[in-house]
Amino acid sequence: MSEQAPVSPETAETDTDEQDGRAPDDGDTTQVETGAESVVAALENAGAETLFGVQGGAIMPVYDALYDSEELTHITMAHEQGASHAADAYGIVTGKPGVCLATSGPGATNLVTGLADANMDSDPVIALTGQVPTNFVGNDAFQETDTVGVTQPVTKHSYFADSADTVGDDVGEAFALAAEGRQGPTLVDLPKDVTQGETDVQPSPAEGPDTYEPPTTADPDNVETAAQALADSEKPVILAGGGVVKAEASEELRAFAKEYEIPVITTMPGIGSFPEDHELSLEWAGMHGTGYANMAITNTDCMLAIGTRFDDRLTGGVETFAPDAELIHVDIDPAEISKNIEADHPLVGDAKHVIDQVHEAMPAAPDADEWREQCQTWKDEYPLEYDTPDDEPLKPQYVVERFSELADDDAVVTTGVGQHQMWASQYWTFTEPRTWVSSHGLGTMGYGVPSAIGAKIGAPDQEVVCFDGDGSFLMTVQELSVAVRENLDITYVVLNNEAVGMVRQWQDGFYEGRRMASEYPWIPEFDKLAEAFGARGFRLEDYDRVDDVIEAAREYDGPAVIDAIIDPAENVYPMVPSGGDNGLFALNGDQLDDI
Amino acid sequence: MTQGMDGPHPDDRMRPAGRRNSQGIRIDPEAEATHEPRKAVLSTLVKHEPGVLAEVSGLFSRRQFNIESLTVGATSDDDIARMTIVIEEPEPGVVQAKKQLRKLVPVISVEELEPEAVQRELILIKVSGEKPDDVNAVADMYDGNVVDASPEAITVELTGSQQKIDAAVEAFDQFDVKEVVRTGAAAVERGGTTLMDERAETIESTAPAESPQTATDD
């Protein structure tokens, strides 16, 4: 198995100390005496540094073993859902599995949303859950839940540890599995008698399961025909998905796209893989993607799609998705090939290697001057823009755009889910991978507050900004207590329209304006709420205060919350209705009525 | 009030000529081709450990693959069990089911058997005990055995292909059928072909040539 180099290139750059050094890095590793100590030793061996969790009865032996660990730092979260999202964000910004812990029963079920989220977005996460002692399992004991049964559908794999001698290996395997191949969440369920049980078996170096062998390079014959198809194309595009970021393949992508001058579109998870300020960038496509990206993706004759699963929010109706395009699909997961969109040239492998393979196999540059010109024309015809009339409330787009200007180039942006998420992704200019942290596939409202915590701990030297909506913010606001306690320098911006804005937008567009349960008759003042938590609070209502308030919040050393009171009438455009034709996106309400 | 931004109306934009079908396959817009469902027998080696059956059946239900039968049994290796899964799906679904199955961690190998592979089912039919001679005659016709008899009921055991079993069930219908118990299919490839443990294959393939070949593979 040793020649199957573990495919975790995403970790290759982020961690300077030896990568394959999953083995203990020093000789004085203490001899384990219990299952719990073996769990902790396995995490240390695997290179874990930070854990996000919440205490509880069945997980207490593991916490007790953590008491003696010098290598592992534990962040106590307010709620287990927060722990799972923080671990997820940590995984996104570092490329290494984020670790979350919870007790049995409700602790474990509270993690499920975060695991499902990580599963949809292929984020590396490992969850460790306490469980009732083995002899109680199946008896409906206090705080017992079939955690493996509940989580198996939303993880790469869930393990049930059944012995103190092997529990460390289970944890090591789960850690390695989360990181290798197509990344994703794993879970190890830890019965209390197993963690309390005596053992003298040291955990082995972390190694993925012998049944899981992710491919690295793609079939050379397929690479050759794919490169030929791309070279023959007159309207080529590259569609860069989250897999490019996960595989640390942004450099390869940039080198390839720039050399052959192929316009680049990203998916939402692919944001940051290609600099949005480069002339070849068309930014991102899909339901609320740019008009130019959706025009290009609809009219291309050859698409090199890398690390994307062709989610329905990207494709719209598949019947009208890139219908003229010969599709070259690069993915590390063979099951993604032709799952939603048939691939003419399947290239199964790790994006980092496969992009280089295609690069080397290119027989010539595509003759695409006219197409590039066309793409520029679309950029002129469909710019992202908004009005800022003085007599109307603040526009959310302006707040995002100003912050993007004022923030550091490598600032990390996290979000909740809803209109604010779309504005943040549309109007922030992303230039680096791992700077966009969001909940895409699962669309988890409440992801914002805890994800910013995980992101800040994963990238302590980078500025972290979280755009949230008032609805999303209220779902996980308790995690603000963690940001304060840990003194994390995070700027939260609540784009506050006193509504679940995206739902309201759909009600106005598709339900004849019947606004059922989408508007809040009363919500807290978030600046004051922030102060109550011990954070700094700011209220922002006027255009001429935007820069000052942003700067003041940025300068505050600790978590700050800007309650930005925005125009409640503002909606997200462009928009492709669900299942619609990407090329027929609506730029405004009138066009939406027409399509 | 109009929301959003200005720009060309959808009717005034460049449009592509082609179209895909609902499976994402580029098609001639004039000729809508559809894939008919077909039956596929998937022979699968899995680690013999708790929870495997739930994991496999959960995969099939959440991805809406249509299972016709699923049987699990031991193999010559105590650590490995075999699942024989019969599904009925259009071609893309069959391919997708195989790939998704292979991704499960306890799954070692997945192979679709040739249509002519040997497939057998076992059935136990319990009928009224009123006409023992007639029941015996029908059982003989299908190479079945009477395995239990009482004045109230007779139980017949039969094995065979699905078609044969279907025909037998129909034939027994003339008696008062009280209960039918049917296993799913057990299936094996004809000739010398066997389902390999892919983990073993990997180890072999890294060694220099001269791996023993089974000569009967056609």
Residue of A nearest to B98 (CA): A335
CB contact under 8 Å between B105 and A209, yes or no, is: yes
Give the model's confidence band at B2: pLDDT under 50 very low, under 70 low, under 90 confident, else very high: low
- Contact criterion met (CB below 8 Å) for A277 and A251: no
Q: What is the distance between the terminal CA atoms of chain A, rounded to a whole angstrom?
A: 55
Does one domain contain both A413 and A454?
Answer: yes
Q: Does B12 touch chain A (CB under 8 A)?
A: no
Contacts 24+ apart (CB under 8 A), A206-209: A206/A22, A206/A42, A206/A45, A206/A46, A206/A172, A206/A173, A206/A175, A206/A176, A207/A1, A207/A6, A207/A22, A207/A172, A207/A173, A207/A176, A208/A6, A208/A173, A208/A176, A208/A177, A208/A180, A208/A181, A209/A157, A209/A173, A209/A177, A209/B105
- Nearest CB to A569; choose among B1, B100, B203: B1
Query: Cβ–Cβ of B20/A319 closer than 8 Å?
Result: yes
Mean pLDDT of A167-179: 98
Contacts of B20 in chain A (CB under 8 A): 318-321, 323, 341-342
Q: In this structure, are residues A40 and A69 in contact, taking their beta carbons and an 8 Å threshold?
A: yes
CA dist., res. B32 & res. B19, Å (int) = 10
pLDDT score, position B201: 60
Q: Which residue from A minimizes the CA distance to B16?
A: A299
Angle of helix A250-260 relative to helix A351-361, nearest 10 degrees? 20
Whether pLDDT at B34 is above 80? no
Exposure b/e, A28-51, CB count within 10 A at least 16 = b:
eeeebebbbbbbbbbbbbbbbbbb
Please answer yes or no on whether B10 and A586 come within 8 Å at the CB atom: yes
Please write the tens of the pLDDT for every residue from A252-305. 999 999 999 999 999 999 999 999 999 999 999 999 999 999 999 999 999 999
* Average of per-residue pLDDT across A437-452: 98
Res A132: pLDDT = 98
Domains and CATH numbers, chain B: 37-112 (3.30.70.260), 118-187 (3.30.70.1150)
pLDDT tens for A57-104 read 999 999 999 999 999 999 999 999 999 999 999 999 999 999 999 999
Residue B26 at interface with chain A, using a CB cutoff of 8 Å: yes
- Write the residue in B4, B96, B206 that is nearest to A587 by C-beta: B4
Confidence of residue B198 (pLDDT cuts 50, 70, 90): confident
**In contact, B120 and B186? CB cutoff 8 Å:** yes
Contact (Cβ atoms closer than 8 angstroms) between residue B144 and residue B168? yes
On whether any CB of chain A is under 8 Å from the CB of B23, the answer is yes
Establish if A588 belongs to a structural domain: no
- B137 pLDDT tier (thresholds 50, 70, 90): very high
Q: What is the pLDDT of residues B92-131, one digit of tens each?
A: 999 999 999 999 999 999 999 998 999 999 999 999 999 9
C-alpha–C-alpha distance, residues A517 and A499, integer Å: 9
Contact present, A8 and A248 (Cβ < 8 Å): no
Query: Residue A578 domain-assigned?
Result: no
Question: Taking CB atoms and an 8 Å limit, are B7 and A384 in contact across chains?
Answer: no
pLDDT, tens only, A131-168 = 999 999 999 999 999 999 999 999 999 999 999 999 99
* Nearest-by-CA chain B residue for A334: B99
pLDDT range class, residue B193, cuts 50, 70, 90: confident
**Same domain flag for A93 and A145:** yes
**Single residue among A319, A351, A381 that ends a domain in this structure:** A381
**A400 shares a domain with A350:** no
Question: Which amino acid, residue A454?
Answer: G
Lowest mean pLDDT among A14-18, A463-467, B117-121, B145-149: A14-18
Three-state SS letters, A284-304? ECCCCCCHHHHHHHHHCCEEE
Q: For strand A490-496 and strand A560-565, is the pairing parallel, antiparallel, or unpaired?
A: parallel
Q: What percent of chain A has pLDDT over 70?
A: 95
From edge to edge, which strands make up the β-sheet containing A157-160?
Answer: A73-76, A50-53, A98-102, A125-131, A185-191, A157-160
In a domain, A29, yes or no: yes
Q: Rounded to an integer, what is the distance from CA A556 to the centroid of its chain?
A: 27
Q: What backbone phi and psi angles, to 5 degrees, belong to B149? A: -145, 140
Of all residues in chain A, the percent with pLDDT exceeding 90 is 93
d(CA A297, CA A324): 10
Confidence of residue B202 (pLDDT cuts 50, 70, 90): low
R_g of chain B computed on alpha carbons: 25
Here the tokens at position A467 are 């755009």
For the cut 70, the answer to whether the pLDDT of residue A26 exceeds it is no
Q: Identify whether A409 is part of a domain.
A: yes
Residues A426 and A531 in one domain: yes
Q: What is the CA radius of gyration of chain A?
A: 24
pLDDT, position B196: 81
Q: Are B6 and A588 in contact (CB under 8 A)?
A: yes
Residues 6+ apart with CB under 8 A from A28: none
Do A149 and A234 belong to one domain?
A: no
Residue B33: pLDDT band (50, 70, 90) is low
**Final residue before a domain boundary, out of A180, A196, A212:** A196
Give pLDDT tens digits for B61-78: 999 999 999 999 999 999
Confidence band, pLDDT 50/70/90 cuts, at residue A397: very high
| Residue A577, SS3 per DSSP | coil
CB distance A299–B14 less than 8 Å? yes
Both tokens assigned to A33: 């005496």
Same domain (yes/no): A310, A400: no
Hey, is A352 helix, strand or coil?
helix
Q: How far does A8 lie from chain B, in Å, by closest CA?
A: 17
**Residue B207, pLDDT above cutoff 70:** no
The parent domain of residue A500 ranges over: 396-573
Burial class (CB in 10 A: 0-12, 13-18, 19+), B214: exposed
Residue B55: closest CA among chain A residues belongs to which residue? Answer: A152
Q: What is the mean pLDDT of residues B168-174?
A: 95
Residue A236 sits in the same domain as residue A105: no
In a domain, A118, yes or no: yes
Q: Which of A24, A86, A62 is nearest to A195 (CA)?
A: A62
Strands (E), A24-119: 50-53, 73-76, 98-102
Rounded Cα gap, residues B197 and A108, in angstroms: 35
The residue whose two tokens read 């193999």 is B75
Residues on chain B touching A386 (C-beta within 8 angstroms): 5
Question: What value does the mean pLDDT take over residues A496-515?
Answer: 96
Task: Please check whether residues A346 and A487 belong to one and the same domain.
Answer: no
Residues A423 and A368 in one domain: no
Domain CATH for A423: 3.40.50.970
3-state helix, strand, coil in chain A (%, to 5): 40, 15, 45
User: Looking at residue A235, what is its pLDDT?
Assistant: 98
Q: Is residue A49 included in any domain, yes or no? A: yes
| Mean pLDDT, rounded, of chain A | 95
Q: Is the peptide bond before A323 cis (omega within 30 degrees of 0)?
A: no
Indicate which CATH number applies to the domain containing A365.
3.40.50.1220
The residue from A196, A231, A255 where one domain ends is A196
Least-confidence region, from A213-217, A395-399, A406-410, A457-461:
A213-217
Q: Kindly tell me if the per-residue pLDDT of A11 is higher than 90.
A: no
- A153 phi and psi, to 5 degrees? -70, -15
- Assess whether A416 and A532 both reside in one domain: yes
Rounded distance between C-alpha atoms, residue A546 and residue B27, angstroms: 52
A587 is a domain residue:
no
pLDDT at A1 over 90: no
For chain A, say whether B90 makes contact (Cβ under 8 Å): no
CA distances from B192 to A85, A496, B20, B215 (A): 52, 69, 42, 7
Task: Over range A304-316, report the average pLDDT.
Answer: 98
Beta-carbon contacts of residue A557 (< 8 Å; ≥ 6 apart): A487, A489
**Chain A residues within an 8 Å CB radius of B19:** 319-320, 323
Looking at residue A433, the DSSP 8-state letter turns out to be T
What total of structural domains would you count in chain A? Answer: 3
Give the HSE-up count for residue B38: Cα atoms under 13 Å, Cβ half-sphere: 13
Residues A435 and A542 reside in one and the same domain? yes
Same-domain pairing of A455 and A500:
yes
Single-letter amino acid code for the residue at A141:
A
Residue B64: what residue type? Q
Residue type, A493: V
Tokens 């978030």 belong to residue: A526
**Any domain includes A586:** no
Non-local (6+) Cβ contacts of B182 within 8 A are B121, B122, B123, B124, B165
Helices (H) and strands (E) in chain B, counts: 5, 11
Chain A residues whose CB is inside 8 A of the B6 CB are 587-588
3-state DSSP helix/strand/coil % of chain B, to nearest 5: 25, 35, 40
CB A208 within 8 A of CB A180: yes
Q: Which residues of A touch B203 (CB under 8 A)?
A: 1
Size of chain B in residues: 218
Q: What is the DSSP secondary-structure string of A480-543?
A: HHHHHHTT--EEEEEEE-SB-HHHHHHHHHHSTT---S-B-S----HHHHHHHHTSEEEEE--G
